[in-house]
Amino acid sequence: MKCNLSLEDIIKYTENQLSDEDNKRIREHLQSCEKCRRQYGVLNFTESYAKESIPVSESVKKNIMEAIDVSRYSKEKKFLGGRLNRAMPVIKPVLAAAAVFVLVFSVATNYDNLRGLVSNNGSVGGVISSPGISPQNTNAGLATPDATDSETQQPVEKKTITVYYGNSNADGVVAEKREVEVGKESQIERVIFEELQKTPKTDGLHSTIPTGTKLISVVTDGGICTLDLSKEFVDNSPGGTAGEAMTLYSIINSLTELPDINKVQFMIEGQKQEVYIHAVFDEPFGRNEGIIKTQDVNATDITEESLKNLEENNKNSIQAIKEKDMKKLAEIVHPVKGVRFSAYSHIDTGSDLVFTKEQLPSLLESEVVYAWGAYDGTGDPIKLTFAQYYDKFVYDRDFAKAEKVGFNKIQQEGNTIVNIKEVYPEGKFFDFYFSGFNPDYEGLDWASLRLVFEEYNGQWYLVCIAHGQWTI
Q: CA angle, corner 152, sides to 146 and 158, nearest 5?
A: 130
Helix (H, G, I), strand (E, B) or coil at 216: strand
Residue 141's pLDDT is 37
Q: What is the overall mean pLDDT for the chain? A: 79
Domains of the chain: 7-138 (no CATH), 156-293 (no CATH), 304-469 (3.10.450)
* Residues 40 and 13 sit within 8 Å (Cβ to Cβ): yes
The pLDDT tens digits for 4-47 are 777 788 788 877 788 888 888 888 787 777 777 777 777 766 66
The pLDDT tens digits for 96-110 are 445 444 444 444 444
107/37 Cα distance (integer angstroms): 27
Q: Is 135 exposed, middle or buried (0-12, 13-18, 19+ CB in 10 A)?
A: buried
Residue 64's pLDDT is 53
How are beta strands 447-456 and 459-469 bridged, if at all?
antiparallel
Which backbone phi and psi does 308 adopt, to 5 degrees?
A: -60, -40
Residue 431's pLDDT is 95
Per DSSP, what are the bridge partners of residue 385? Answer: 369
Better-predicted residue by pLDDT, 451 or 206: 451
Residue 155 half-sphere exposure toward CB, CA atoms < 13 A: 5
Which backbone phi and psi does 55 adopt, to 5 degrees?
A: -65, 140
* Residues 395 and 318 sit within 8 Å (Cβ to Cβ): no
Which backbone phi and psi does 143 adopt, to 5 degrees?
A: -65, 135
* Residue 461: pLDDT over 60: yes
Residues contacting 444, CB < 8 A, separation 6+: 436, 470
468/430 Cα distance (integer angstroms): 12
Q: Band of the pLDDT at 324, cuts 50, 70, 90?
A: very high
